[in-house]
Chain A
């Protein structure tokens, strides 16, 4: 597991942790059943408040990314349907981002790009 906290980021530290752990679960870097470090261990390693770390874990649990087993620790949860959907959406987003970057390189504007996307969607349906 890899977590990098940016002090200069406008995002709260707990959000940075949530986002990075989520990203690693979605990308498959953390797989189902894998244990996460304890809240206090993570706080120590990142040199951050225990309360901040606890909040990040609570958030991940509320969103179904991890399960906490009392006395045992926190584990990556089984991936559910919504979760897989998010994973796929992310893949789509990445491909779209690549297309946008390519379009911008050749000076293609938003309107032109949207039109192309609309046509593609119509073709596909």
Chain B
């Protein structure tokens, strides 16, 4: 039977001095794009390193296509395409020799796919890795990840430092990959506009804890921002209020049910669509990074 989830994390824990991932649980159904968002230092990269078994978890369960990522590490890794912000490529070797060396590790490696992508990305195959621009390095990492027939693409901040044209191209690649229902993507980012439309599931992590993991529509169509004066905001059902911020000219509250908020406040406040940026800012709470 094909497993329902590309990725399952249950009660995953990892402690560092001054930082801990606490019982992290979330799932990514097979065939979808999952976005991992959160402020810097919230634990996104730690989660990805744990999935890749680059660091050891202290507790919990991580399954990729139903397989334990430690006991079935070889199979799991052959099915993951990994695009990391500090990729493990050799600075002084040409792209083509890295293709030959690394491709040999993957049973489903396709030179044909690699060369097609290299042409599409205009990669200079005879050049050394270190001579590449940041964008070209990312493209190379992506071409490598897509050429070994991975079923799950995991990308850590793939769009950081890239221009909007390439970011758009990358997103188009991802949805092209998803034409095959067996493929899934998990990517972490702090550029939330990248995820606003294409992500199917959005998982928000803050201070080492998962705050929510919701479908894009549940979050961006269901939640809302109420903008009004203090009195109206205070009347809102506290169970709905996920974050409040005081501004110079009024108060903003993030609510988890826009429809209910609209009925409650009527015309006394503005109920606006929410963006991922606003979710992050409003959930960060009062006075953080305050001007």
- A residues with CB within 8 A of B: 7, 10, 12-14, 40-41, 43-44, 47-52, 55
Contact = CB atoms under 8 A, between A and B. Distances in A.
A33 B200 CA distance: 29
B197 interface: yes
Interface of B: 31-33, 171-172, 175-176, 178-179, 181, 197-201, 215-217, 220-221, 273
A52 B178 contact: no
Contacts of A13: 197, 217, 221
Which 10 residue pairs are nearest across A and B when measured between Cβ atoms?
A: A12-B221, A44-B175, A51-B200, A49-B216, A49-B200, A48-B197, A51-B215, A40-B179, A50-B200, A52-B217
A33 to B, nearest CB: 24
B266 to A, nearest CB: 16
B197 A47 contact: yes
B267 to A, nearest CB: 15
A45 to B, nearest CB: 9
A7 B221 CA distance: 12
Contacts of A40: 175, 178-179, 181
Nearest to B179: A40
Given A13-B221, A40-B179, 12 more contacts: A13-B197, A43-B175, A44-B175, A49-B199, A49-B217, A50-B32, A50-B33, A50-B178, A50-B200, A51-B201, A51-B215, A52-B216
Contacts of B215: 49, 51
Given A40-B178, A40-B179, A40-B181, A47 B198 contact: yes
Nearest to B29: A51
A44 B185 CA distance: 14
17 contacts: A12-B220, A13-B217, A40-B175, A40-B178, A40-B181, A43-B175, A44-B176, A47-B171, A47-B175, A47-B198, A49-B33, A49-B199, A49-B215, A50-B200, A51-B215, A51-B217, A52-B200
B197 A55 contact: no
Contact of B179 (A12, A44, A55): A44
B179 A49 contact: no
A49 B178 contact: no
Contacts of B201: 51
A48 B198 contact: yes
Given A49-B199, A49-B200, A44 B216 contact: no
Nearest to B275: A7
B176 A49 contact: no
Nearest to B215: A51
Nearest to B193: A7
Nearest to B197: A48
A52 to B, nearest CB: 6
B179 A41 contact: yes
Nearest to A5: B197
Contacts of B171: 47
Nearest to B220: A12
A4 to B, nearest CB: 14
Contact of B32 (A7, A14, A51): A51
A14 B217 contact: yes
A2 to B, nearest CB: 18
A13 B198 CA distance: 11
